[in-house]
Amino acid sequence: MSMHRVTKTIDFCYGHRLVDYDGKCRYLHGHNGRLEVDVESDSLDDLGMVVDFGEVRDVVKGWIDSELDHRMILCERDPLLETLKAAGEPLYVMADNPTAENIAKAVFNVARDSGLNVTQVRLWETPSSYATYGPADQSAR
């Protein structure tokens, strides 16, 4: 079966650190992240679109801007959490470590919950490293 796919790219900045990690990422540090959000459909709407790029922007970039951009993304088990909260730092707290994999999954779930037929989300943590999240069975849309 043929499919149409569009991809919206969204750039944002964030900081994080990984709990229980024995490498450099155990320290607070930042990234210039780039998200790629794939939306698919087996047919086009009356205008010839899978989805308006503006709708993807409004949903995904809207959530990124309000929840992740220029925030420290931390695991709820992070011992620095209360200190940073008390200092008034902007935070986004996750149940799991804020890896690129888990952030991509969070964005995927937000986009899907909003009604977008998102099939994959890629988060480029650096220009040479990215994580992808999407359903294991691409036919299970």
Query: Which residues are catalytically annotated?
Result: 25, 70, 125
DSSP 47: T
Contact 46, 68 (CB under 8 A): no
- Under 8 Å CB-to-CB from 82, ≥6 apart: which residues? none
Contact 69, 12 (CB under 8 A): yes
For the record, the structure tokens of 114 come out as: 């909003």
For the record, the structure tokens of 13 come out as: 């900045």
